[in-house]
Amino acid sequence: MYMAWMEPSSTTLGKTKELIKQGRERIGQTIKASGSRLCSYAEQVVFLMDHSRSPDKSTQPPTPTDNINLGPSANPNAKPTDFDFLKVIGKGSFGKVLLAKRKCDGTFYAVKVLHKKTILKKKEQNHIMAERNVLLKNVKHPFLVGLHYSFQTSEKLYFVLDYVNGGELFFHLQRERCFREPRARFYAAEVASAIGYLHSLNIIYRDLKPENILLDCQGHVVLTDFGLCKEGMEQEETTSTFCGTPEYLAPEVLKKQPYDRTVDWWCLGAVLYEMLFGLPPFYSRDVSQMYDNILHKPLHIQGSKTVAACDILQGLLHKDQKRRLGAKTDFLEIKNHVFFSPINWDDLYHKRITPPFNPNVAGPADLRHFDPEFTQEAISTSITHTPDLAASSSSASDAFLGFSYAPTEEDI
């Protein structure tokens, strides 16, 4: 149990963090409620991979015949043969993410390839579009991964995304045990800026954790994976979908009570705590015990941290969402906390602050920060070619009317 953890050795902590990673793979990164029973889904990966999740009560479950249209992100002239697919850099329940180089200009992208049949089977087509909607808005913020465009074949969907190869924050945290306060503050500030921007668009993120925070080649934060985002959340509005990642769930979510955007500030507190101390604040290998800790145990802060650090952790991790830091004026409260007094927010936003750590990647082809389990996998030939629509599954094509396109003779 984390509450009893006191200055473990580096070896012990490394083993513990590996157990956390293994445990997450077993119990899943995304959980949802089905009546009184908890259901878990696995497969968190490097880039924006897909989550099964409960729809909000206001949303009707999609049916296999729902039409999907990519709208403003669609590029009907694009096709798989526009790219050289170089390496697999992530995997999930709906498909894979690949490092790809566009042939016409040599630009590197992360291309997320999803299987329509799998999406239809899990009735996730509306959620794929909700994630796309958030991705389209991200191009306006420096610390959110952006969608450049999307296209599809009769069998697959392709999302062309920013390519980021500095590694997951979780990877670096696992390797270094914990971060010094200035480094943790820098990452927390960039993440808070991204979350504040999403909130300004009435979007709640709901799944902040070190695995969803990437570093770019310079060491700046890039927030990824918007599968659990909730759109249309006004300042005072609440929702009640049970979703998130076990270690970072806010008490009100565990209680299945209506919650608001302050769940994201709770998660920021949990991530900041983990950066400073090496483990999530209420961590236990026993998930039931961890939930009990989140609900009932007081926050334990030990060691020689500054008063400002202790105060912001107490504020962000307040169990009462109405008294939590950020409950009154949202991101403005976070910005104005004394912990962030060394930060010039305008310089931060414009990336004029030198990151405290440089991933030292040699270029786009440098994959040292990706899991070899992915990068050593062979790329399927089905990803790299445009299939004959007439020979494809009619059920998948029918379900994605307005989404699919047939290549023209010029394209072929």
Look at the block and give the residue holding tokens 């409960």: 54
Whether 353 contacts 186, CB under 8 Å: yes
Residues catalogued as catalytic: 207
The rounded distance, in Å, linking the Cα atoms of 40 and 140 is 33
Look at the block and give the residue holding tokens 């939590």: 324
Look at the block and give the residue holding tokens 């030990």: 302
Q: 103-115 as b/e, with b when 16 or more CB fall inside 10 Å?
A: eeeeebbbbbbbb
Q: Flag whether 156 is marked binding.
A: no
Which amino acid is residue 150, in one-letter code?
A: S
Structure tokens at 261: 């955007």
Helix and strand element counts for the chain (H, E): 13, 9
CB atoms within 10 A of CB 327: 17
How many CA within 13 A on the CB side of residue 38?
Answer: 18
Q: Select from 250, 212, 298, 245 the least CA-distant residue to 2.
A: 298
Return the bridge partners of 95, or none.
114
The rounded distance, in Å, linking the Cα atoms of 125 and 70 is 11
- Pairing type for strands 83-91 and 95-102 reads antiparallel
Q: Select from 302, 18, 367 the least CA-distant residue to 167.
A: 367
**Would you list which residues are annotated within the binding site for ATP?**
121
